[in-house]
Amino acid sequence: MTDRKFFWTVPTDHPAFPGHFPGHAILPGVVILDHVLRCAGELQGGIDACWQVNTAKFFSPVGPGEALTFSLQPRPSGRIAFAVRAGTRDVALGNLAAYA
Protein backbone atom coordinates (compact mmCIF):
# COMPACT_ATOMS: atom_id res chain seq x y z
CA MET A 1 0.00 0.00 0.00
CA THR A 2 1.25 3.48 -0.78
CA ASP A 3 1.76 6.45 1.48
CA ARG A 4 -0.71 9.29 1.40
CA LYS A 5 0.76 12.70 2.19
CA PHE A 6 -0.87 15.62 3.96
CA PHE A 7 0.66 19.05 4.52
CA TRP A 8 0.23 21.61 7.29
CA THR A 9 2.09 24.79 8.12
CA VAL A 10 1.93 25.42 11.84
CA PRO A 11 0.34 28.84 12.41
CA THR A 12 2.68 31.26 14.16
CA ASP A 13 -0.24 32.28 16.38
CA HIS A 14 -1.34 28.75 17.31
CA PRO A 15 -3.03 28.94 20.75
CA ALA A 16 -0.70 26.28 22.22
CA PHE A 17 2.42 28.43 21.85
CA PRO A 18 1.99 31.10 24.56
CA GLY A 19 2.19 28.59 27.40
CA HIS A 20 4.45 26.02 25.77
CA PHE A 21 7.16 27.40 26.40
CA PRO A 22 7.44 31.15 27.01
CA GLY A 23 10.40 32.55 25.10
CA HIS A 24 10.93 29.32 23.12
CA ALA A 25 7.67 28.19 21.52
CA ILE A 26 7.38 24.43 20.91
CA LEU A 27 4.31 22.74 19.46
CA PRO A 28 3.03 20.14 21.98
CA GLY A 29 3.09 16.52 20.80
CA VAL A 30 -0.64 16.21 21.43
CA VAL A 31 -1.27 18.87 18.76
CA ILE A 32 0.82 16.88 16.28
CA LEU A 33 -1.11 13.70 17.17
CA ASP A 34 -4.41 15.55 16.79
CA HIS A 35 -3.39 16.49 13.27
CA VAL A 36 -2.36 12.88 12.55
CA LEU A 37 -5.86 11.79 13.61
CA ARG A 38 -7.45 14.40 11.33
CA CYS A 39 -5.34 13.10 8.44
CA ALA A 40 -6.43 9.52 9.24
CA GLY A 41 -10.06 10.66 9.00
CA GLU A 42 -9.39 12.19 5.58
CA LEU A 43 -7.56 9.04 4.50
CA GLN A 44 -10.64 7.02 5.37
CA GLY A 45 -12.87 9.26 3.25
CA GLY A 46 -13.95 11.59 6.02
CA ILE A 47 -15.31 8.79 8.15
CA ASP A 48 -15.45 9.94 11.74
CA ALA A 49 -13.81 6.80 13.12
CA CYS A 50 -12.29 6.55 16.55
CA TRP A 51 -8.55 5.91 16.46
CA GLN A 52 -6.23 4.75 19.18
CA VAL A 53 -2.57 5.80 19.15
CA ASN A 54 -0.73 2.50 19.61
CA THR A 55 2.77 3.94 19.42
CA ALA A 56 4.21 7.39 19.01
CA LYS A 57 7.80 8.49 19.23
CA PHE A 58 8.89 12.11 18.97
CA PHE A 59 12.33 13.00 17.66
CA SER A 60 12.49 16.74 17.14
CA PRO A 61 10.60 19.83 18.37
CA VAL A 62 8.39 21.86 16.05
CA GLY A 63 8.24 25.63 16.18
CA PRO A 64 5.91 28.33 14.84
CA GLY A 65 5.62 28.57 11.06
CA GLU A 66 7.21 25.19 10.29
CA ALA A 67 5.86 23.23 7.35
CA LEU A 68 5.03 19.63 8.26
CA THR A 69 4.47 16.63 6.02
CA PHE A 70 2.30 13.84 7.37
CA SER A 71 2.78 10.49 5.59
CA LEU A 72 0.14 7.89 6.40
CA GLN A 73 0.23 4.31 5.18
CA PRO A 74 -2.69 1.93 5.71
CA ARG A 75 -1.60 -1.57 6.69
CA PRO A 76 -3.43 -4.83 5.79
CA SER A 77 -4.16 -5.27 9.51
CA GLY A 78 -6.31 -2.12 9.45
CA ARG A 79 -3.72 -0.07 11.32
CA ILE A 80 -2.24 3.10 9.92
CA ALA A 81 1.49 3.82 10.15
CA PHE A 82 2.41 7.51 10.25
CA ALA A 83 5.52 9.64 9.90
CA VAL A 84 5.76 13.39 10.44
CA ARG A 85 8.62 15.38 8.95
CA ALA A 86 9.69 19.01 8.90
CA GLY A 87 11.75 19.29 5.73
CA THR A 88 14.34 16.51 5.99
CA ARG A 89 14.00 16.24 9.78
CA ASP A 90 12.04 13.42 11.40
CA VAL A 91 9.53 14.81 13.89
CA ALA A 92 7.44 11.76 14.88
CA LEU A 93 6.67 8.15 13.94
CA GLY A 94 3.96 5.79 15.14
CA ASN A 95 0.85 3.85 14.31
CA LEU A 96 -2.88 4.04 14.84
CA ALA A 97 -5.49 1.33 15.27
CA ALA A 98 -9.25 1.59 15.06
CA TYR A 99 -10.64 1.97 18.57
CA ALA A 100 -12.80 -1.01 19.46
Residues in the chain: 100
pLDDT at 21: 84
Question: pLDDT tens digits for 29-88?
Answer: 999 999 999 999 888 876 667 889 999 999 999 999 999 999 999 999 889 999 999 999
User: What is the CATH classification number for the domain harbouring 72?
Assistant: 3.10.129.10
pLDDT at 98: 85
Give the rounded distance of the alpha carbon of 92 from its chain centre. 7
* CB contact at 8 A, 86 and 66: yes
Annotated catalytic sites, by residue? 20
Domain containing residue 21:
4-98
Q: How many domains does the chain have?
A: 1
Cα diameter, the chain: 44
pLDDT at 27: 96
